[in-house]
């Protein structure tokens, strides 16, 4: 079958010769590709999306032959979780607990330890009701139950989370395995020591403890012995050279307690007794002094299968000295902080070696230890050294972490020596867990069978229905989504209902563009599918949309004709107009081809439920090359640029052009809903009225502005203005208005057509809530005058006549002769409100004293010369005698004040040499804030220094000592 694009073109090739009004049923069926030949199996590699009749390659191949029943379920065989015959039980890795699992397996295979644990008293387990789950509490109870499961569980592996949780271990963090082993055995030793049975109280000592002593011999043959208990973590047993005599001389001489003097001596270790089990730690992890971290030693170590300790044992006549290798713990990895632990353990009953790797357990071939690949995993490029040859009876390893040796026993026919029976009270709990496991296996098997049965039924259903899918010529048919059919063939257990809603056009029928995503099937097959799975809406042969096909036909024809029409329209608009014409926006005329192309593309790709834009309502045009600058960038619809806000013809004749009816007919074909205005169409009367009103208003505003300017000419030009500092002669009254009013009035006078006229004088802005004036004569002179403007009495008469004044405000000057001379008094009308004035001043002072960011200057006085320098620690003091710098210092509330060091580093003056003052007042209170001392923004603090310290390190030390512990509140005191 031809590719999808070729099928798409072929489906609409007929539009070149057929007009929309001439479309017949055969054209509609061509557009929907109803009559395309169906693909045959084997001829189509993958499904043809462009062909609704292609029903191959949609997933049916998996159902047409014999199918393995395992394809009908995703449930693993529960028997794969069952323990194999004649093997051991594994332990689940809870995240990073492999080191725990390896030790548990080693301890489990210590038959004496296991037998002793089983003998521990456990009333909770003995009295437990098997109707509920058993939950151990103590470490001993957990270990008892865990060992019983490891021995007789039906499971392939068990979960040690109960014990791990009881030990308080972090399952996501790998602990130091050696430390864990030592601490756990100590904990177990303490637990067993509390047992009533005396044979259990010293199990750990009997199994893992011996004795040795340090013997120091002085020249006078005086011997000093230090006895030490030999614990399981004593590494020195492996390095036999450490058991040889050591000379103590030179700097390393022995200090004798008796003579209180250093003496040359010899020292050696004497072994007095050895335990049945030797746990030899190989010290793989050592401290690297250069990096400050642990590192792993990856060197090869050779160790024997049999270890004879006789030559190193004192008084060995009654002790067994030959040990056999029984376990090797491996640490795979090159880092001391990561890696993986596994255990190779020898079965005490059979002599076979097993590898315990968490859940996985592997039996080694033969009767020999085989480390094999364990030695390759840790190798890196730098550490790839050749494995040394091992002597007979020896093994070599670079990853061995701990060796376990057991004393060699004489062969005995007594099976009780190697057989450890699980006590009845523990076996009852194991049987309970085995019963739960068997129930789970049965449940999983039933679920597998149910899935298989459903799959087989679905298999028969699919085979039956798939044969009914193809439709025959002349028979009724329906369309089904391709994706649904694929999921129906892929999902062997459940399928959602059929959903055709995404395939609908705006007319509620099948959209022509969605044919490639659907398949045409027989009505019989469709009926069965809808009965079994439901859904809708159903799309049959009556769902082919004539409207969409007609619209697509029109769009495709216009797209093919667009370039030709564009050339013709361009030529026609250049001709002289004769006859009736139509108004077209100049911007629309320049960009109509781009608008038409985008409109046609939008119509062509119209999606389902689209109530979107049709002809004449095209998309927003942005950054089009055909558009000119101006309001054309905002144009959305053809010819909208000459439509006013009232929907009529725009009154701007310069933005439109009159074109012939022939041009308009061609444009109308692309934009059938575009606004139409013929030559006789009058411009919008509302716009004309508004235009005239605007012109009238502008004329009135100009006249008003000219009149006000002529009456207040000095105020406008800001000439001949009265001042308070030099009261003008000839008047005893001046009027006050807000400066904001004057500024707004001047804006109107300058641009009367662009600015709004001012109608009110808002003097209440200068009054308090009680109607009193907020400023005094003195405050106006000292800075408050920035908020007001002063007027002459004649100006006030004009202001009162031209504007609405809410409250007159004036200031009066009274002069009178007194015995002491001529005095002048100034009053305001309304009177000053002292209550509000004091509140205003209080808030103003408070704002000055409470700040979080401000600039404060420090002036250092040097022998009648002054140097002004901002206390900035990041800047060096200048060598010049006087220098000014300014820098803002942000201060966060609660932060310790840093300004001691700022002054110290800026002026080389330590805190105890700083004498600070402001306005002659010394700043000596270390607990005060800047605000309480009157230090406001822009203040200048004088610094007089005692003899400065040149040593900055010494100053820093003093600063650390003198710095108050809690810092300073507010902005903080700069220094003392």
Q: Indicate which residue of 39, 48, 54, 98 is catalytic.
A: 98
For residues 626 and 638, the answer to whether their CB atoms sit within 8 Å is: no
Distance between CA atoms of residues 46 and 26, nearest Å:
29
Other Cβ atoms within 10 Å of 645 Cβ, number: 10
Q: Indicate which residue of 27, 142, 340, 905 is catalytic.
A: 340
Q: For residue 309, what are its two tokens?
A: 């300790």
Q: Which residues pair with 400 in a beta bridge?
A: 330
Q: Which residues pair with 286 in a beta bridge?
A: 295
Helix (H, G, I), strand (E, B) or coil at 879: coil
Distance between CA atoms of residues 526 and 543, nearest Å:
15
- Helix or strand run (H / E) with residue 821: strand 821-829
For residues 325 and 376, the answer to whether their CB atoms sit within 8 Å is: no
DSSP symbol at 682:
P
Q: Which residues pair with 581 in a beta bridge?
A: 660
Q: For residue 16, what are its two tokens?
A: 């070149």
Other Cβ atoms within 10 Å of 151 Cβ, number: 18
Distance between CA atoms of residues 535 and 541, nearest Å:
18
Distance between CA atoms of residues 266 and 218, nearest Å:
7
For residues 302 and 375, the answer to whether their CB atoms sit within 8 Å is: no
State the angle between helix axes of 177-192 and 98-108 in degrees (0 to 180), rounded to the nearest 10.
Answer: 50
- Classify each residue of 126-135 as buried b or exposed e, where b means 16 or more C-beta atoms within 10 Å of its C-beta: eebeeeeebe
From residue 283, alpha-carbon distances to 197, 291, 535 in Å are 36, 18, 71
For residues 91 and 473, the answer to whether their CB atoms sit within 8 Å is: no
Helix (H, G, I), strand (E, B) or coil at 810: strand
Half-sphere exposure of 734 (CA within 13 A, CB side): 21
3-state SS record for 436-472: HHHHHHHHHHHHHHHHHHHHHHHHHHHHHHHHHCCCC
> Who contacts 612 (Cβ-Cβ below 8 Å, separation ≥6)?
602, 606
Strands 940-945 and 857-862: parallel
Distance between CA atoms of residues 455 and 533, nearest Å:
16
Helix (H, G, I), strand (E, B) or coil at 825: strand
Task: Indicate if 98 belongs to the active site.
Answer: yes
For residues 959 and 900, the answer to whether their CB atoms sit within 8 Å is: yes
For residues 793 and 799, the answer to whether their CB atoms sit within 8 Å is: no
Task: Indicate if 340 belongs to the active site.
Answer: yes
Distance between CA atoms of residues 115 and 207, nearest Å:
12
Before 822, cis peptide (omega within 30)? no
Query: Cα-flanking dihedrals φ and ψ of residue 293, to 5°?
Result: -130, 165
Before 537, cis peptide (omega within 30)? yes
- Alpha carbon 245 to its chain centroid, in Å, reads 63
| CA end-to-end distance (rounded Å), the chain | 96
Distance between CA atoms of residues 784 and 761, nearest Å:
19
Distance between CA atoms of residues 366 and 375, nearest Å:
20
Q: For residue 702, what are its two tokens?
A: 């100009």
Instruction: Kindly list the catalytic residues.
Output: 98, 340
């Amino acid at each position: 079958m031809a590719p999808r694009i070729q099928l798409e073109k072929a489906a609409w090739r007929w539009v070149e010769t057929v007009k929309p009004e001439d479309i017949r049923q055969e054209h509609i069926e061509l557009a929907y590709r109803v009559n395309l030949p169906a693909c045959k199996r084997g001829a189509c590699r993958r499904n043809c999306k462009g062909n609704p009749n292609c029903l191959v390659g949609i997933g049916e191949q998996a159902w047409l032959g014999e199918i393995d029943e395992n394809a009908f379920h995703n449930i693993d065989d529960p028997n794969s979780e069952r323990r194999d015959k004649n093997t051991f039980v594994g332990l689940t890795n809870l995240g990073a607990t492999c080191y725990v699992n390896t030790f548990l397996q080693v301890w489990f295979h210590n038959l004496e330890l296991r037998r002793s644990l089983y003998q521990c008293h456990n009333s909770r387990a003995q009295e437990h009701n098997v109707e509920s789950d058993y939950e151990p509490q103590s470490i001993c109870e957990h270990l008892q139950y865990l060992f019983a499961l490891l021995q007789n569980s039906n499971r392939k592996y068990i979960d040690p989370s109960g014990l791990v949780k009881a030990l308080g271990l972090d399952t996501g963090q790998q602990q130091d395995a050696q430390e864990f082993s030592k601490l756990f055995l100590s904990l177990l030793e303490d637990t067993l020591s509390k047992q009533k049975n005396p044979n259990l109280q010293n199990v750990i000592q009997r199994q893992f403890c011996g004795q040795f002593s340090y013997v120091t011999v002085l020249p006078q043959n005086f011997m000093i012995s230090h006895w030490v208990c030999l614990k399981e973590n004593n590494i020195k047993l492996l390095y036999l050279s450490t058991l040889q005599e050591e000379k103590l001389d030179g700097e390393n001489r022995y200090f004798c307690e008796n003579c209180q003097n250093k003496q040359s001596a010899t020292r050696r270790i004497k072994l007095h007794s050895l335990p049945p089990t030797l746990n030899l730690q190989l010290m793989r992890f050592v401290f690297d002094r250069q990096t400050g971290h642990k590192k792993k030693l990856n060197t090869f170590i050779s160790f024997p299968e049999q270890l004879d300790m006789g030559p190193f044992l004192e008084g060995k006549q009654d002790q067994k000295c030959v040990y056999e290798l029984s376990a090797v713990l491996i640490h795979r990895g090159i880092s001391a902080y990561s890696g993986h632990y596994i255990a190779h353990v020898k079965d005490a009953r059979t002599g076979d070696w097993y590898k315990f790797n968490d859940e996985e357990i592997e039996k080694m071939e033969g009767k020999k230890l085989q480390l094999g690949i364990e030695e390759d995993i840790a190798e890196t490029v730098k550490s790839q050294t050749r494995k040394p040859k091992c002597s007979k009876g020896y093994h070599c390893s670079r990853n061995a972490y701990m060796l376990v040796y057991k004393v060699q026993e004489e062969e005995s026919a007594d099976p009780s020596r190697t057989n450890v029976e699980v006590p009845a009270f523990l076996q009852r709990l194991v049987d309970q867990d085995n019963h739960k496991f068997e129930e789970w296996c049965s449940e999983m098997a039933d679920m597998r069978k149910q899935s298989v049965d459903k799959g087989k039924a679905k298999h028969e259903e699919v085979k039956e229905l798939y044969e009914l899918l193809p439709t025959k010529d002349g028979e009724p048919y329906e369309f089904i989504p391709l994706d649904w059919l694929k999921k129906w063939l892929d999902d062997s257990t459940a399928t959602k209902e059929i959903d055709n809603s995404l395939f609908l056009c705006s007319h509620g029928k099948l959209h022509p563009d969605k044919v490639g995503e659907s398949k045409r099937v027989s009505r019989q097959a469709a009926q069965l599918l809808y009965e079994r799975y439901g859904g809708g809406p159903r799309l049959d042969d009556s769902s082919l949309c004539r409207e969409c096909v007609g619209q697509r036909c029109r769009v495709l024809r216009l797209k093919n004709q667009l370039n030709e029409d564009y050339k013709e329209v361009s030529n026609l608009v250049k001709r002289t107009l004769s006859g009736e014409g139509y108004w077209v926006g100049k911007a629309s005329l320049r960009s109509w081809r781009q608008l038409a192309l985008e409109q046609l593309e939008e119509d062509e790709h119209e999606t389902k439920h689209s109530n979107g834009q049709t002809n004449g309502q095209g998309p927003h045009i942005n950054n089009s090359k055909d558009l000119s600058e101006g309001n054309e960038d905002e144009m959305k619809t053809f010819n909208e640029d000459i439509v006013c806000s009232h929907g009529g013809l725009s009154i701007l004749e310069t933005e439109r052009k009159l074109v012939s009816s022939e041009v308009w007919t061609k444009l109308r074909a692309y934009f059938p809903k575009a606004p139409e205005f013929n030559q006789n169409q009058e411009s919008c009367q509302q716009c004309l009225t508004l235009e005239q009103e605007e012109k009238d208003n502008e004329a009135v505003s100009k006249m008003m502005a000219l009149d006000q300017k002529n009456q207040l000419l000095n105020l406008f030009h800001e000439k001949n203005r009265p001042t308070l500092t030099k009261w003008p002669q000839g008047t005893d009254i001046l009027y006050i208005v807000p400066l904001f009013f004057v500024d707004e009035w001047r804006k109107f006078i300058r641009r009367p057509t662009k600015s709004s006229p001012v109608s009110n004088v808002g003097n209440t802005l200068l009054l308090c809530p009680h109607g009193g004036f907020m400023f005094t004569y003195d405050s106006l002179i000292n800075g408050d005058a920035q908020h007001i403007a002063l007027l002459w009495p004649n100006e006030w008469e004009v202001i009162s006549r031209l504007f609405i004044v809410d409250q007159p405000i004036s200031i009066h000057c009274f002069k009178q002769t007194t015995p002491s001379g001529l005095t002048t008094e100034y009053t305001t009308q309304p009177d000053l409100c002292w209550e509000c004035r004091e509140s205003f001043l209080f808030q103003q002072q408070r704002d000055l004293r409470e700040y979080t960011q401000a600039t404060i200057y420090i002036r250092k006085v040097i022998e009648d010369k002054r140097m002004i320098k901002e206390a900035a620690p990041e800047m060096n003091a200048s060598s010049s005698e006087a220098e000014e710098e300014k820098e803002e210092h942000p201060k966060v509330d609660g932060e310790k004040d840093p300004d001691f060091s700022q002054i110290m580093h800026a002026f080389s003056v330590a805190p105890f040499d700083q004498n600070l003052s402001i306005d002659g007042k010394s700043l000596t209170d270390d607990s005060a804030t800047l605000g309480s001392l009157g230090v406001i923004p822009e203040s200048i603090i004088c610094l007089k220094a005692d003899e400065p310290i040149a040593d900055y390190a010494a100053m820093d030390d003093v600063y650390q000592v003198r710095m108050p512990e809690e810092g300073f509140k507010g902005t903080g005191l700069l220094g003392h």
